[in-house]
Amino acid sequence: MTSKPTKTNWSYPTRVLFGPGRLEELGEVANGAGFKSPLIVTDPGLMKFPVIEQAKAILNKAGIEAGIWGEVLANPTESNLAAGLKVYQAGGHDSVIAIGGGSALDCGKCIAFMSGQTRPIWDFEDIGDWYTRANAGGIAPVIAVPTTAGTGSEVGRAGVITKEDTHEKKIIFHPKMLPVVTICDPELTIGLPPKLTMGTGMDALAHCLEAFCAPTYHPMSAGIAVEGIQLVKENLARAVANGKDIDARGNMMSAAAMGAVAFQKGLGAIHSLSHPVGSLYGTHHGMTNATFMPYVLVMNRPAITDKIEYLAQVLGLKGGFDGFQAWVLALRQETGAPHTLKALGVPDTSKGDLIAKMAVVDPTAGTNPVPLTEVNAKALFLAAFEGRL
């Protein structure tokens, strides 16, 4: 099930404190990491919940006075990042504690990264060795505290920021963007509504699935992807049906982190299409991934049949590729994921050509098992809009 061995580079993630109640260790962790004046970065929705004040109180008890910036957008933009960076610099902060979903974690990591840079952020896009342009000594440390189970940004070395003039989602990368410590406390996901539980969980599935199907050689990531898919199969529907199921919540947090580790192997057309749709229409990333998933599976079928049949066997699904596809469709229906882009909120197909052009140059397109072209990318967009499998 692996590709031909070749020369490559591998990297695995940071220290993770996992389990219910681990947020209480935030002060100890921050002191241990040398944080003196951290900025808590989060989003407006989470500001309404007690976790932010709870985190601030835990830090205060440890002798650390933290600032708070709670204006992260659902799809962070360069101006949104600039606003957070301004608060960081004005407050004389030396570190970031990013609390929230993928957007808050990504934006917090990018604030910490840009705090010591003089070049524009787009100079550090995840292209070749562009990350070497950065002043590594100027990158502030980050503690990541996820409150959703989806992106896995808490164990990643990159952040996604939308370039406003082109509506492109850009991946900003540097090895030192990896959080120094991650606190995965499933109790923090208890208040997540069923719809967002579904969307973030389907994002984790998309990461694991696309990573496993990517044609690159990375057997460690491939193995992690398989176990991540198994965890999604056993726990996502449970977490959506009963948000207080702490075991299901915990297993989904594990699946999310595993997906982010796994996609070092690569992603594919699910993400290549979701990125422009999300940036143009403001759709939720995980839900957009869920919508595109079965259509991309169909297109990639000639190149991934053996891998999907293996997955079906591991997951205990009968029917090989068709059985796996049927499971994906059933999971989407059971958890409330939209079947079409129209149901997701995309109004029409007028931007199909633009989305296809954006998809083929997205950094995730290069590892799709079937080469992504403007022709098949537009065909996927139209199929997903109309519901044609």
CA gap 370, 173 in Å, rounded: 25
H-type alpha helices, the chain: 26-32, 44-47, 51-61, 78-90, 102-114, 194-213, 219-241, 246-262, 269-281, 285-315, 320-335, 341-344, 352-361, 374-386
Q: φ, ψ for residue 70 (rounded to 5)?
A: -120, 45
Instruction: Give the model's confidence band at 7: pLDDT under 50 very low, under 70 low, under 90 confident, else very high.
Output: confident
Q: What is the pLDDT of residue 92?
A: 97
Whether 11 shows a pLDDT value over 70: the answer reads: no
184-209 residue pLDDT tens: 999 999 989 999 999 999 999 999 99
**Among 207, 307, 316, 313, CA closest to 252:** 207
Residue 69 pairs with which residues in a beta bridge?
A: 41
Percentage with pLDDT > 90 across the chain:
94
The set of residues, in sequence order, having a beta carbon less than 8 Å from that of 275 and lying 6+ positions away, is 160, 168, 169, 358, 359, 362, 364
Residue 389, number of CB atoms within 10 A of its CB: 11
Q: Whole-prediction pTM value?
A: 0.93
Q: What is the pLDDT of residue 9?
A: 67
Whether 73 shows a pLDDT value over 60: the answer reads: yes
The set of residues, in sequence order, having a beta carbon less than 8 Å from that of 218 and lying 6+ positions away, is 8, 10, 264, 265, 266
Residue 130, number of CB atoms within 10 A of its CB: 15
DSSP letter (8 states) at residue 151: S
Instruction: Give the model's confidence band at 6: pLDDT under 50 very low, under 70 low, under 90 confident, else very high.
Output: low
298-328 residue pLDDT tens: 999 999 999 999 999 999 999 999 999 999 9
Q: What is the pLDDT of residue 10?
A: 67
Whether 3 shows a pLDDT value over 80: the answer reads: no
Residue of higher predicted confidence among 288 and 10: 288
Instruction: Give the model's confidence band at 242: pLDDT under 50 very low, under 70 low, under 90 confident, else very high.
Output: very high
Q: What is the pLDDT of residue 8?
A: 64
CA gap 131, 147 in Å, rounded: 28
Q: φ, ψ for residue 75 (rounded to 5)?
A: -125, 90
Where are the domains positioned within the chain? 15-189, 194-386
Residue 108, number of CB atoms within 10 A of its CB: 33
The per-residue pLDDT of the chain, averaged, comes to 95
86-127 residue pLDDT tens: 999 999 999 999 999 999 999 999 999 999 999 999 999 999
Whether 1 shows a pLDDT value over 60: the answer reads: no
| Fold category of 15-189 in CATH | Rossmann fold (3.40.50)
**Among 16, 12, 15, 14, CA closest to 264:** 12
Q: φ, ψ for residue 246 (rounded to 5)?
A: -65, -30
**Among 273, 277, 274, 291, CA closest to 377:** 273
Q: Do domains 15-189 and 194-386 have the same CATH topology?
A: no
14-54 residue pLDDT tens: 899 999 999 999 999 999 999 999 999 999 999 999 999 99
User: For the domain with range 194-386, which CATH number is right: 1.10.10.10, 1.20.1090.10, 3.10.20.30, 1.10.287.110?
Assistant: 1.20.1090.10
> What angle, rounded to 10 degrees, do the helices at 194-213 and 246-262 form?
40
Cβ–Cβ < 8 Å for 256, 206: no
Q: What is the pLDDT of residue 13?
A: 80
| Phi/psi-derived region of residue 319, left when phi > 0, alpha when psi is between -120 and 50, beta in every other case | left
Q: What is the pLDDT of residue 191?
A: 86
CA gap 114, 168 in Å, rounded: 19
